[in-house]
Structure 1
Amino acid sequence: MERAPHYFWAVRIPDNIKQTIHDELTHVKPIFQFKRWVDLHDYHITLAFLGSVNPQQLPSIIQLVGDAVSKQQAFRMEIEGLNVFGSQKSPRIFWASVNEVKPLFQLQAIVHDTCLEAGFSLETRPYHPHITLARKWGGSEEFKIDDLVAHNPFGEQALSFQVNEIVLYKSNLENTPKYEAIAAFYLVD
């Protein structure tokens, strides 16, 4: 049975940065034994998760968010480290941390507030930007939290990139990659 697609707004990560993340992870996969690794084309930083959307709502939310971000400036970000969500002994999500720069939080607030005003029910927890890399710990031993620092490929030199585009993605869970760009808006250079 096919599930209804979900939609979310996200920062698009440049292709060369996605490739670099992927290449760096190949060196640490034997240490971080997660069951499901995210396809490199699916790397992103979520701004607002909409969930299921009535197709008739899509043109409106695309227009509203496009108008809301039309004057937002592009900015630089860095991928700095690795972390996990869930139990520290058997984490459910493995992710890359990004520097929490003010322009990212401003952009997220604009997108979030615009979606709320359009009638969407959104996440109420504080915003915690990250790039999901893998899911479900699969190691035969407990996860070692110290490995996050000891084997961080981004520790010595953070991976820097320009944030200049946000995208509305549609999830296609049966496909690889799973996320399809439905609409995109460039930030002002």
Structure 2
Amino acid sequence: MSTHYFWALALPKSTKQTMHSQLGDVVEHFPFKRWVYWEDYHITFAFLGSAEEQKLRRSIELVGEAIENERTFLLNLQGLGVFGSKKSPRIFWASVKKNDKLMNLQSLVFKACLRSGFTLESRPFAPHITLARNWTGDDFDHNWLDTYNPYQEKLISFPANEVVLYKTNLEKIPKYEPIATFSLISE
């Protein structure tokens, strides 16, 4: 399998640890086949797939230029959600509260990747942090997303302060390796 690349908002290590810790209480209620290793939590901005070195270098240059004046901002986890079949979801994720600055940042990165020559997904950006994949239980009950939401009572806020180009290494843990990192301007 070829190596894949993607641009994402990195989460602070302490945020990832807190998320993982709070999830510990609800994992038993959500029998998914594969849980994402906590150090791999992120918010994907643009999935590039396999890529030529020249296109990657161009995307690094253009993303850096596009976001060079962007400032750090706060994000809040909001809840849980799923993608895929209603009875047997494919992806289990944590949602991020709607934030215009996040939407703008993703748009800047996405457009820079398009200008770099990449063909990207055309679905609207739905900010989320993938937690697990492939439901293995009986029919999924969507009420569980509220009932077992660990982020309702213990709100997690975190700074959005780094945009990263990641390389996927399927044989390693963590499997996402930073290739280029851009820090946003601190307030």
TM-score (norm 1): 0.96
In 2: Cα distance, 1:128 partner to 1:31 partner: 24
2:58 is aligned with 1:60:
yes
Output the CA distance in 2 between the equivalents of 1:101 and 1:36: 29
Unmatched 5+ residue regions in structure 2? Answer: none
Query: 1:128 — aligned with what?
Result: 126
Report which stretch shifted further, 94-103 or 47-56.
47-56
The yes-or-no answer on 1:19 pairing with 2:17 is yes
Structure 2 counterpart of 1:108, from 106, 115, 120 = 106
* Deviation at residue 57 of structure 1 after TM alignment: 2.3
Structure 2 residue identity aligned to 1:50: L
Once the two structures are TM-superposed, the CA of residue 5 in structure 1 deviates from its matched residue by: 0.8
Q: Distance in 1 between matches of 2:123 and 2:78?
A: 23
Structure 1 residues 135 and 87, CA, compared in 2 at 3 Å: closer, same or farther?
A: same
What is the CA-CA distance between 1:143 and the residue it aligns to? Answer: 1.4
Alignment of 1:57-96 (within 5 A): 57-96=55-94
1:120-169 Cα deviation digits (max 9, x unpaired): 10110111010000000012x21111110001000124210000110000
The 8 Å contact of residues 9 and 45 in structure 2, kept in 1 or not, is answered as yes
User: What's the TM-score once normalised by structure 2's chain length?
Assistant: 0.97
Amino acid at match of 2:139: E
* 1:110 Cα deviation after fit: 0.5
Amino acid at match of 2:86: Q
Q: Deviations over 1:91-119 (max 9, x none)?
A: 11000000120000100110111111111
Q: What's the CA shift for 1:55?
A: 1.7
For 1:6 and 1:133, the matched residues in 2 are separated by 19
Aligned length in residues: 186
1:59-78 Cα shifts (integer Å, max 9, x gaps): 22111111111100111000
Distance 1:158 1:130 in 2: 16
Q: State yes or no: 1:4 paired with 2:2.
A: yes
- The answer to which of 154-163 and 105-114 deviates more is 154-163
The answer on 1:39 being equivalent to 2:37 is yes
1:185 counterpart residue number: 182
Identity of aligned residues (%): 52
The yes-or-no answer on 1:164 pairing with 2:161 is: yes
Distance 2:172 2:98 in 1: 31
What one-letter code is carried by the residue in structure 1 that aligns with 2:89? Answer: P
CA distance in structure 2 between the aligned counterparts of 1:57 and 1:113, rounded to whole angstroms: 14
Per-residue deviation at 1:175? 1.6
